[in-house]
Amino acid sequence: MRTPDSTTVRNLGILAHVDAGKTTVTERILYLTGATHKRGEVHDGTTVTDFDPQERDRGITISAAAVSCDWAGHRLQLIDTPGHVDFSDEVERALRVLDGAVAVFDAVAGVEPQSETVWRQADRHGVPRIAFVNKLDRAGADFDAAVESIRTRLGVVPLPVQVPIGREDGFTGVVDLVRMRAYVWAGGAGTYTEQEVPEELRDEARRRRRALEEAVAELHPGALEEFCADSALSEGTLRSALRDLTLGGGAVVVLGGSAYRDRGVEPLLDAVVAYLPAPRDMPPVRGTVPADPAAPFTALVFKVHATATGRMTYLRVYAGTIGKGDTVLDTTTGRTERIARVLRVQADRATEVAEARAGVIVAVVGPKAARAGATLCDPAAPVVLEPPTTAAPVVSVAVEARRSADTGRLATALARLTEEDPSLVVRTDPETGQTVLSGMGELHLEVAVEKVRRDRGVEVSVGRPQVAYRETVEKGVTGLLYRHVKQDGGAGQFAHVVIDVEPAGSGEEFAFVSTVTGGRVPQEYVRAVEAGCRDALAEGPLGGHPVTGVRVTLTDGATHPKDSSEMAFRTAGRFALREALRACGMTLLEPVADVTVTVPAEFVGAVLGDLAARRGRVTDQANRAGTAVVTATVPLAELFGYASRLRGRTQGRGTFTTRPAGYEALRG
């Protein structure tokens, strides 16, 4: 295989809302470039990139899949990313290693909620994009409306470089406004013909070409100079200006087509080569790592996948060259790893290659401990690259093996899951003893649990996580006397204590003081009483929940010269506090969380109503440029299922974050 240099490589992602046609676009690209010999279809479960059984069953992309192909003398390395909001962290990791992207939009729906999300993610990473308005053959498709939604919803300047020929079912091709030529598809993929602009579209094409030139001249100084001199832009100047604007983020080139009907994909590939950056066009990573194959090796791990034949580590090579047998340093762990094989990946298939140079995306076999976000580099030139960010999980479920014999296998399977997907978190609740799996959404967790069942053969029960309640004293008691006497032969046990119990001060979980005078209870026995009281806090009288917010005062006591001991006073302290708590006025506490919800202003009413229904107490509300930010304190027990409800009430455009906020009295 010819090793491409960093000027003829395009590392790009395919981004979109779920069902906008990302995977179909990717499949048509692979077919047109000769990387595959049969067109894969999502509805038939025959796609290359959606190779996981769950992806084919559900008809959605779950994990980012890397593929590569060649077009016009360039190596295109594509990552087909998920479009569902639950898997946005997978998109985040992919964008961290990409140089450019194709954003796919539905010609009927325009910019959809997840389209906004992935666009903002690409903004954060500074990834240049071009737009492809897909499904122009659908009923209700409107190219101009989709372009306008890009302008209004994403806040960018769209530069349409094509005009559709025909509408809806009559869509047959596009007019290229840069070359002023028409592309018409009479059959399947690769059967288009280039011809003169149809007579009925010539005036429209000239008008739109003029509008394109004016828009580019406003944004590009070089184009403005030529436009002022000649009142027009040449094809070369227009093409060069469009590339500069794309790389600089000043505007977005927009094309159209219907990937399912094989129309418009070839011009899209030409636009990828013409407008999206090569690795050398991008600034050095963190200003220190140029895309130079002769520099010291530097790469970033963005994905780990455990297969039946071993562990594959996906990485983007930023500098230098890596080959079989090389030793690299994982600067995250400080350990060295040996590269056993270098692989060119085609979704679930891989071909071994001799080496990988700066600018390419490959998988390697050999590293045993590298995780997503790790930097692999030349041991003689250590460097740490900024890892992709990982969002905090928002949804949790309790999981356990149905058979006790599978408990160990379940733990191993969950550890493997979190290694492959850092946005999954597994923890054991120290109070309930439950194993809790947390992720980005209910579908995310459903897919993870199903993977444990299918891939590891472990039957798993999934339930609602238990909420750890607390009990506290609302009204105390004074002068409670407890006498512990035990005589059953030999040395007996004697302890006499008098205690007061009251609510503790703000922020105090437990306080113990002694006001005993005259040495009636020696100091070592006072410490034993305190230890006994702490023992009694493990279970409260209301429901056996831990007790908090209690202040105990030892006011009096008595000892026996022979039968008193630390054990006797510890026992007395434990039973005295238990009896006192039964006599106190007790209140049940529940854990609460501070929830910050960010939604478009038009949905704030629905959000407030839902928070009220969940016993939430709104503490703050602000509006920022058409976006409402609502902060509320909500019982943790009421947040189960909130992610799905919020998306449903806000057309998928609402997001939220939570953080523990302690305990509050249980509200009805």
Annotated binding site: 16-23, 80-84, 134-137
Coarse DSSP helix, strand, coil percentages of the chain, rounded to the nearest 5 percent = 30, 35, 35
E strands, 410-469, in order: 425-428, 435-439, 460-463
Are residues 284 and 304 in contact, defined by beta-carbon separation less than 8 angstroms? no
Which residue shows structure tokens 């122009």?
Answer: 136
Q: Residue positions in the annotated binding site for GTP? A: 16-23, 80-84, 134-137
Both structure tokens of 159: 């530069």
DSSP state of 263: B
Nearest to 611 by CA among 626, 593, 584, 585: 593
Residue 355 burial (CB < 10 Å; 0-12/13-18/19+)? Answer: middle
Residue 19's Cβ-count burial label (10 Å; 0-12, 13-18, 19+) is middle
Coil, helix or strand for 382?
A: coil
Rounded CA separation 593/658 (Å): 6
Q: How far apart are CA 620 and CA 573, in angstroms?
A: 45
Nearest residue to 656 via CA among 497, 638, 12:
638
Among 37, 71, 35, 64, residue whose Cα is nearest residue 49: 64
Dihedral angle at the C-alpha atoms of 291, 295, 301, 302, nearest 10 degrees? 0
114 DSSP assignment: H
How far is the C-alpha of 119 from the C-alpha of 16, rounded, in Å? 8
Residue in the block written with tokens 């009251």: 502
630 pairs with which residues across the strands? 597, 621
Task: Annotate 17-70 with three-state secondary structure.
Answer: CCCCCHHHHHHHHHHHCCCCCCCCCCCCCCCCCCCCHHHHHHCCCCCCEEEEEE
Question: Side chain identity at 420, as an amino acid letter?
Answer: E
Contact (Cβ atoms closer than 8 angstroms) between residue 246 and residue 276: yes
Full DSSP string of 312-372: EEEEEEEESEEETT-EEEETTTTEEEE--EEEEEETTEEEEESEEETT-EEEEE--SS--T
For the record, the structure tokens of 477 come out as 């008691």
243: its two tokens: 């590339």
Q: Give the pair of three-digit tokens for residue 570.
A: 């510890």
Residues 6+ apart with CB under 8 A from 495: 483, 484, 525, 557, 559, 564, 568, 569, 571, 572
